[in-house]
Amino acid sequence: MTTTHDGYLATRRLILKGAVTVALVGLGNIPFSLVPTFAAANDKYPEDAFKAKSDADAIKSLYGKTAEPSDKVKLDAPEIAENGAVVPISVSTTLADVTSIALLVSENPNALAASYKIPTGTMPSVANRLKMAKTSNVIAIVEAGGKLYSAAKEVKVTVGGCGG
Amino acid sequence: MASTIRVRATSSGETTEVQALIQHPMDSGFVKDVKGETIPPHFIQELTFEYDGKSVFVADWGAAVSKDPYVKFSFKGGKKGDDLKISWVDNKGATDTTTAKIQ
């Protein structure tokens, strides 16, 4: 009887030990699998973020956190874009300690359009031209002091920029 | 071969404003040609501006940046006559580099 009892306890102990090991290995793995996808943290081209379909997924992949809307982020885009292949868009901000600026077009096949690294000494302002498949929200993300701030504006597109 | 990069960098004393125009098809991979065949993606992924051995601006681009891309930014410092180095690499591994004098 006792042996069976011991055997049961030993098994139980083994299972518990196993569970602890799994938990530790699991915890250890999380930072390793997430870190390389944070573009802001390293210089690598953020391939996964550019492949993400939705704006939310792209922001999560690029920064690993969410943005809060801020009136300190100024997004300049036309109300109506006659040609979706060339839509002039610019972003500037009065926020301090800006480290990066990203631009997303929600309705494009891949939402993330451009991500700019702003080293110390460079103005937190950028202008460029983007393609828009159809009428969509354009989102500007500004990373300042480790936090994310956003601004959005709807741009109406009369002729799409993706061969439409 | 003529450079694909055209840059104008102007110093106002305290800051330098940089405007760059690059010749590149920036094919998104979503467009079909006249025969109905999809044009494969071909776009610039990284564009770097260096001044005095340091990057002053780095752009990571997706396929949604317009053909013959244009970008404008400014940075503190930068003297007239100094060099600004610009380089890009696209998704097929092609690159181009040029150096512009700050005016």
Residue of A nearest to B33 (CA): A163
Same-domain check for residues A79 and A152: yes
More confident residue, A92 or A3: A92
Q: Tell whether A112 is covered by a domain.
A: yes
Q: Tell whether A31 is covered by a domain.
A: yes
All residues at 6 or more sequence positions from B87 whose CB lies less than 8 Å from its CB, including other chains? B47, B48, B50, B95, B96, B97, B98
| Number of neighbours of residue B69 by Cβ within 10 angstroms | 22
Instruction: Give chain A's domain count.
Output: 2
Min Cα separation A104/chain B (Å)? 9
Same-domain check for residues A89 and A127: yes
Same-domain check for residues A67 and A18: no
A122/B15 CB distance under 8 A: no
Instruction: Give chain B's domain count.
Output: 1
Q: Tell whether A139 is covered by a domain.
A: yes
In single-letter form, the type of residue at position A75 comes to L
* DSSP 3-state of A19: helix
Same-domain check for residues A141 and A93: yes
**Which residues on A lie below 8 Å from B31 (Cβ)?**
162-163
Range(s) of the domain holding residue B74: 5-101
Give the domain CATH number at B31.
2.60.40.10
At B59-81, the pLDDT tens digits run 999 999 999 999 999 999 999 99
Indicate the pairing of strand A147-157 with strand A68-69.
Answer: parallel
**Which residues on A lie below 8 Å from B55 (Cβ)?**
117, 119
Give the domain CATH number at A86.
2.60.40.2470
Indicate the pairing of strand A87-93 with strand B15-22.
Answer: unpaired
Min Cα separation A61/chain B (Å)? 14
At A112-147, the pLDDT tens digits run 999 999 999 999 999 999 999 999 999 999 999 999
Q: Tell if the pTM clears 0.90, that is, is over it.
A: no
